[in-house]
C-alpha cells in the first residue's frame, strides 16, 4: 500500500534526536499465558496489516506476522523494570527491516505489556485498537483472526474552507518551555502521576460550558505558565508594529513584558468514522492561555472550550492536500520538511497535551484487566515536554515525557508537583 501523506511525513521526520514513536505501558492483572499474547499479536497484525509491514521506498510492504517478536523480560525490582523499559524505548526503529510495532512483556511482581508504535503507521486510537484486539484474544474474549485483512486507508474529514491559524493565536510563536540546556539527546524518560477523576468529571458537567478534557488542558496551560514564570523565562519579542497582546475577553490588553505566550500542541482525531480505522487519523490544533490570569478557574476552562470550538469549526486541523509531497524523493523533501518546522515563525507550542478517555478504554472488553496506563509520548525537535493523560475506570494517569538532556528528573518532579497543586485548585474552586 502506498504511504499516505501523514505516514510519510512522520517517517521523514524520524531521527536519532527526535524519534517519531510512542509507547503504551499497561499494568495488567490476572495476566494470561505468554503464548496467548503471541496469539493476540499475530491476530492484530492480520486485522491491521500495516502493523506487519516494512517500508520500501514510499510503500508499505507486507512481511507476514511470523516475524513478530515479543521480547520477554523477568525482573526482580522496580529499578530493573524501569531500566528494561528505558532500554526498550530508546532502541531505534528501522522501518525498512522491521514492522512499526514492537512489544515487550515484563514479568515481575505484576505484568506489564509495553508496546511501541511508530507514528508513521499508527496514532493513539490505532494503538488502542491494536492492543485492545490483542488483549481480547489473549484473554479469550474474542476469536483470533487467522487470515490477513485488507489494506484500508483512512478517510479523513475535510472542510470546503479552512484556516491555518486560530484567531486566538499569538502574533508570533508560543514561548518555548524553559529548560536548563538546549541540545537534545533523543532519549526519553517519563514520570507518571495519578488522581481520581470521577468527581472532577461530575463537576465539569454540573458547572457547564466545558469538558473534563478542557479542564485538564487548562491545568496544563497554568502549569506551563507557572513553570516559565518561576524560571524567569524571557518573553517572546513584542508583537510587530509595537502592538500589545489582546485580552480575548474584551478587557484591557496585557503589556508585552507581562504577557507570556503559552500554547499547547493538542492532537485531534479527524477520522470520518471517529471510532475505527488503523493508521494516521490524527491532526492537531493549538490552544492558548489567552485569558485573564486573575480570572476564576471555571472561566479559564470556558475560554479553552471557546477556542477548541472555534478551531474545530474553522478547520485549523485540516490536513492540506499536497500531491507533490508523496512524489518527491525522501532525500530532497526530508530536509525541506525539517527546515520548515524549525523556522521560528512556526508555532510548535510550549508543550504537547493529549487526553485519551473513552476512545481508548472502550476499545476492548479486556481493558477491564488494565490497572494502570502510562504513555511515553513523542517529541518534535522543538518540543521539550509531552503530557499524555489517560482516564480509565474513574482514574486519570498523567505521564510527563521529557528528554533528560533538556530537563532533569528533579525538574519533572517539580512540574508534577505543580500539576498536582493545580488539580487541587481545580477541585477547590469548582466544588
Q: Are residues 214 and 295 in the same domain?
A: yes
Mean pLDDT of the chain: 90
In a domain, 20, yes or no: yes
Please write the tens of the pLDDT for every residue from 375-422.
999 998 889 999 999 999 899 999 999 999 999 999 999 999 999 999
Overall pTM > 0.85 = yes
In a domain, 78, yes or no: yes
Dist CA 356 CA 129 (whole Å): 13
Please write the tens of the pLDDT for every residue from 338-379.
888 888 889 999 999 999 986 565 667 889 999 999 999 999
Residue 112's DSSP bridge partners are 27, 106
Burial of 208 (0-12, 13-18, 19+ CB in 10 A): exposed
Q: Are residues 386 and 251 in the same domain?
A: yes
Please write the tens of the pLDDT for every residue from 293-315.
999 999 999 999 999 999 999 99
**Secondary structure letter of residue 178 according to DSSP:** P
Q: Are residues 231 and 352 in the same domain?
A: yes
Instruction: Examine the pLDDT at 238 and tell me if it is beyond 80.
Output: no
State the residue range of the domain holding 19: 5-138
CATH number of the domain at 282, please.
3.30.559.30
Instruction: Examine the pLDDT at 233 and tell me if it is beyond 50.
Output: yes
In a domain, 163, yes or no: no
In a domain, 103, yes or no: yes
Please write the tens of the pLDDT for every residue from 239-295.
343 333 444 434 344 444 447 899 999 999 999 998 888 999 999 999 999 999 999
Dist CA 259 CA 246 (whole Å): 10
For residues 422, 424, 428 and 429, what is the CA-based torsion angle, rounded to 10 degrees? 10
In a domain, 115, yes or no: yes
In a domain, 364, yes or no: no
What pLDDT score does 90 carry? 94
For residues 130-159, average pLDDT: 93
Residue 62's DSSP bridge partners are 53
Provide the pairing of β-strand 70-74 with 101-107.
parallel
CATH number of the domain at 89, please.
3.30.559.10
> Which residue pairs from 89-96 have beta carbons closer than 8 angstroms and sit at least 24 positions apart in sequence?
89/23, 89/114, 89/116, 89/188, 89/376, 90/186, 90/187, 90/188, 92/16, 92/19, 93/14, 93/19, 93/21, 93/118, 95/11, 95/54, 95/55, 95/120, 96/54, 96/55, 96/56
What pLDDT score does 152 carry? 84
Give me the number of domains the chain comprises.
2
Amino acid at each position: 500500500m502506498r504511504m499516505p501523506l501523514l505516514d510519510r511525513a512522520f517517517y521523514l521526520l524520524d531521527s536519532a534526536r527526535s524519534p517519531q514513536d510512542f509507547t503504551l505501558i499497561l499494568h495488567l492483572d490476572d495476566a494470561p499465558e505468554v503464548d496467548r499474547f503471541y496469539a493476540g499479536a499475530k491476530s492484530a497484525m492480520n486485522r491491521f496489516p500495516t502493523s506487519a509491514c516494512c517500508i520500501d521506498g514510499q510503500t508499505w510492504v507486507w512481511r507476514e506476522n511470523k516475524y513478530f517478536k515479543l521480547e520477554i523480560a523477568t525482573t526482580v525490582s522496580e529499578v530493573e523494570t524501569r531500566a528494561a523499559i528505558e532500554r526498550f524505548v530508546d532502541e531505534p526503529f528501522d522501518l525498512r527491516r522491521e514492522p512499526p510495532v514492537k512489544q515487550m512483556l515484563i514479568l515481575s511482581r505484576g505484568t506489564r505489556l509495553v508496546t511501541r508504535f511508530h507514528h508513521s503507521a499508527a496514532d493513539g486510537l490505532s494503538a488502542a485498537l491494536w492492543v485492545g484486539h490483542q488483549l481480547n484474544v489473549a484473554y479469550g474474549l474474542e476469536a483470533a483472526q487467522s487470515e490477513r485483512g485488507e489494506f484500508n486507508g483512512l478517510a479523513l474529514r475535510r472542510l470546503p474552507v479552512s484556516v491555518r491559524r486560530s484567531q486566538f493565536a499569538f502574533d508570533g510563536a508560543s514561548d518555548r518551555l524553559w529548560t536548563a540546556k538546549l541540545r537534545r539527546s533523543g532519549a526519553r524518560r517519563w514520570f507518571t502521576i495519578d488522581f481520581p477523576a470521577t468527581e472532577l468529571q461530575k463537576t465539569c458537567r454540573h458547572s457547564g460550558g466545558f469538558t473534563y478534557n478542557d479542564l485538564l488542558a487548562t491545568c496544563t496551560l497554568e502549569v506551563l505558565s507557572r513553570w516559565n514564570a518561576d524560571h524567569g523565562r524571557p518573553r517572546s519579542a513584542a508583537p510587530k508594529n509595537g502592538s500589545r497582546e489582546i485580552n480575548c475577553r474584551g478587557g484591557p490588553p496585557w503589556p508585552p513584558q507581562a504577557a507570556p505566550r503559552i500554547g499547547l500542541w493538542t492532537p485531534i482525531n479527524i477520522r470520518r468514522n471517529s471510532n475505527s480505522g488503523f493508521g494516521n487519523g490524527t491532526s492537531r490544533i493549538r490552544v492558548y492561555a489567552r485569558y485573564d490570569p486573575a480570572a476564576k478557574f471555571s472561566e479559564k476552562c470556558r475560554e479553552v472550550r471557546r477556542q477548541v470550538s472555534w478551531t474545530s469549526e474553522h478547520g485549523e486541523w485540516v490536513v492540506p492536500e499536497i500531491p507533490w509531497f508523496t512524489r518527491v524523493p525522501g532525500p530532497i523533501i526530508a530536509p525541506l520538511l525539517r527546515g520548515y518546522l524549525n523556522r521560528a515563525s512556526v508555532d510548535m507550542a510550549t508543550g504537547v497535551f493529549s487526553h485519551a478517555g473513552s476512545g481508548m478504554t472502550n476499545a476492548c472488553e479486556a481493558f477491564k484487566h488494565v490497572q494502570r496506563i502510562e504513555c511515553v509520548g513523542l517529541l518534535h525537535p522543538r518540543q521539550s515536554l509531552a503530557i499524555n493523560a489517560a482516564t480509565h475506570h474513574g482514574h486519570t494517569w498523567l505521564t510527563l515525557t521529557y528528554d533528560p538532556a533538556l530537563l532533569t528528573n528533579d525538574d519533572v518532579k517539580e512540574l508534577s508537583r505543580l500539576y498536582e497543586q493545580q488539580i487541587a485548585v481545580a477541585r477547590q474552586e469548582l466544588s
